[in-house]
């Protein structure tokens, strides 16, 4: 008797959970989960599928996680290059604080459109204002998203329209949680956010830690991104940022810290002890803050995901992010000690896939193509001159593959992109709306 399934991917090349390549594999998807992963010759003729996709010439791999993104900065694309400091006070704050509900909705649509076309199936949003509208865009797009609301109750450069008390900041996140958590068949989760330690009072820090435990949800923060942050903590707390967060009850297994460039050995040890989750944003880090101590962090047993830090200075190509990180680590850490394998290809891929799943607090649900896991799956066209022929496809995934090689995307068992056409969104309209609205926002923000 034929078994039923929603989607059958037939006869593709599989990236296995062990990060190896297996050819001639078919994958059955049913009820939002991966039902069976077997050789095509075994599965052939066994399934009555609602939708069958010929995966020959395609790589079947887990959907990618953008571990740290700012949807609300999307329409700053092209605006930040070659600018002198302080970009935060001169551009980011006037821009972000002028965004209204519709701007935020469109920023979300633009972000998720680009993410889906880049193979991203889950993202961790670090937060802005009007996040219920960003949630609406995420829910409609079909992407999986952990969305936070940016919270700040102190800091010299914050405009009055942004400033809120610790109680207000928490109340507004709780409201977002109550209205939006688990929307989209559970794809949307609401997290708490600590924008960064400099813009949160001790009281707010403590409340974020307590509330995230109470709601059993994540905390998204910028952590040890730059030297000013460390200097601020040393001056004000006589401790480094990681110790400060530990003291206020924020560090734990539900904590995600983005960037992590300026970490000491003791910081790394404490983060590992707390089972905190980390992510690097290679391009953003290199341009502004330097090269992270990735090998030491991994050696301590911590996981690292990869984040875009938003689209304002990045094309959201996560294969390229891996290449950039690899070259940076080789040049800065590897060469001086003559270690050409300072960061092996598989370690980079593991960061992107498993590190991403951990950064999304979903390591048991996503990040591998095997039976029982959630069906977040992408297909890549590997029959192209920049990929084939090769003697090691795993290496070429980092050395040569591009985001635009992703042809199809399945999220939560639902086909969201087919042959590079996003089925849930009107791409032409969203881009046209973005072009128009971008000008209006700049005029309003006076930048
Ligand atoms: Zn960021």
CA of 189 to the centre of ligand 1 (A): 19
CA of 208 to the centre of ligand 1 (A): 18
Cβ-contact 378, 90 below 8 angstroms: no
CA of 223 to the centre of ligand 1 (A): 9
The residue-averaged pLDDT of 33-42 equals: 97
Q: So what's the pLDDT on residue 150?
A: 86
CA of 293 to the centre of ligand 1 (A): 18
DSSP 79: S
pLDDT tens figures, 137-177? 999 999 999 999 988 898 866 777 778 999 999 999 999 99
pLDDT tens figures, 279-330? 999 998 888 789 999 999 999 999 999 999 987 777 899 999 999 999 999 9
Give residues whose Cβ lies within 5 Å of ion ligand 1. 309
Longest C-alpha distance within the chain, in Å? Answer: 71
Cβ-contact 117, 407 below 8 angstroms: no
What element of type H or E holds 444? helix 427-445
Closest CA to 332 of 278, 280, 299, 295: 295
CA of 296 to the centre of ligand 1 (A): 22
CA of 10 to the centre of ligand 1 (A): 39
CA of 146 to the centre of ligand 1 (A): 15
What residues contact residue 106 under an 8 Å CB cut-off, 6+ apart?
75, 137, 430, 433, 434, 437
Q: So what's the pLDDT on residue 390?
A: 98
CA of 76 to the centre of ligand 1 (A): 14
Closest CA to 118 of 308, 356, 342, 326: 308
Closest CA to 283 of 327, 346, 344: 327
CA of 418 to the centre of ligand 1 (A): 30
406-411 and 414-418 strand pairing: antiparallel
Q: Residue 381: how many CB atoms within 10 A of its CB? A: 18
CA of 325 to the centre of ligand 1 (A): 17
Least confident of 113-117, 147-151, 287-291, 360-364: 287-291
- What predicted TM-score, i.e. pTM, was given to this entire model? 0.97
Which domains does the chain possess? Answer: 3-62+373-422 (2.30.40.10), 64-359 (3.20.20.140)
CA of 178 to the centre of ligand 1 (A): 25
The residue-averaged pLDDT of 362-383 equals: 98
d(CA 411, CA 126): 21
CA of 194 to the centre of ligand 1 (A): 11
SS3 state of residue 385: coil
């Amino acid at each position: 008797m034929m078994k039923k399934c929603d989607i059958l991917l037939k006869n593709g090349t599989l990236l296995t959970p062990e990060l190896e390549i297996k050819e001639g594999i078919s994958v059955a998807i049913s009820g939002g989960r991966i039902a069976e992963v077997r050789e095509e010759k075994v599965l052939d003729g066994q399934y009555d599928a609602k939708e069958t996709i010929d995966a020959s010439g395609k790589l079947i791999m887990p959907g990618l996680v953008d571990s740290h993104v700012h949807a609300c900065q999307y329409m700053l694309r092209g605006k930040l290059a070659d600018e002198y400091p302080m970009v935060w006070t001169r551009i980011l704050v006037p821009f972000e604080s002028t965004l209204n509900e519709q701007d935020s909705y469109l920023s979300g649509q633009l972000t998720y459109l680009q993410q889906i076309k880049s193979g991203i199936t889950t993202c961790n949003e670090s937060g802005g204002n009007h996040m219920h509208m960003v949630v609406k865009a995420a829910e409609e797009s079909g992407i999986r998203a952990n969305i936070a609301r940016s919270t700040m109750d102190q800091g010299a450069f914050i405009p009055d329209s942004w400033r809120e008390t610790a109680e207000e900041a928490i109340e507004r996140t709780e409201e977002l949680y109550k209205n939006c958590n688990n929307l989209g068949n559970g794809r949307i989760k609401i997290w708490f956010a600590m924008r960064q330690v400099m813009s949160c009072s001790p009281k707010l820090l403590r409340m974020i830690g307590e509330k995230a435990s109470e709601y059993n949800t994540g905390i998204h923060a910028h952590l040890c991104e730059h030297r000013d942050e460390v200097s601020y903590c040393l001056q004000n707390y006589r401790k480094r940022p990681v110790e400060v967060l530990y003291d206020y009850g924020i560090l734990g297994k539900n904590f995600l810290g983005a960037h992590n460039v300026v970490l000491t050995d003791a910081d790394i040890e404490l983060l590992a002890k707390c089972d905190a989750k980390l992510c690097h944003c290679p391009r953003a880090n290199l341009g502004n803050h330097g090269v992270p101590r990735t090998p030491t962090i991994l050696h301590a047993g911590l996981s690292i995901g990869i984040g875009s830090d938003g689209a304002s200075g990045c094309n959201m190509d996560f294969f390229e992010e891996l290449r950039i990180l690899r070259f940076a680590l080789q040049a800065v850490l590897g060469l001086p000690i003559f270690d050409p394998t300072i960061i092996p290809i598989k370690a980079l891929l593991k960061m992107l896939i498993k590190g991403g799943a951990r950064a999304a607090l979903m390591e048991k649900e996503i990040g591998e193509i095997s039976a029982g896991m959630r069906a977040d799956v992408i297909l890549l066209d590997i029959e192209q001159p920049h990929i084939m022929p090769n003697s090691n496809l795993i290496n070429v995934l980092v050395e040569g593959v591009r985001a635009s090689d992703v042809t199809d995307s399945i999220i939560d068992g639902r086909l969201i992109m087919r042959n590079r056409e996003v089925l849930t969104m009107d791409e032409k309209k969203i881009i046209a709306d973005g072009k128009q609205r971008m000008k209006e926002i700049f005029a309003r923000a006076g930048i």
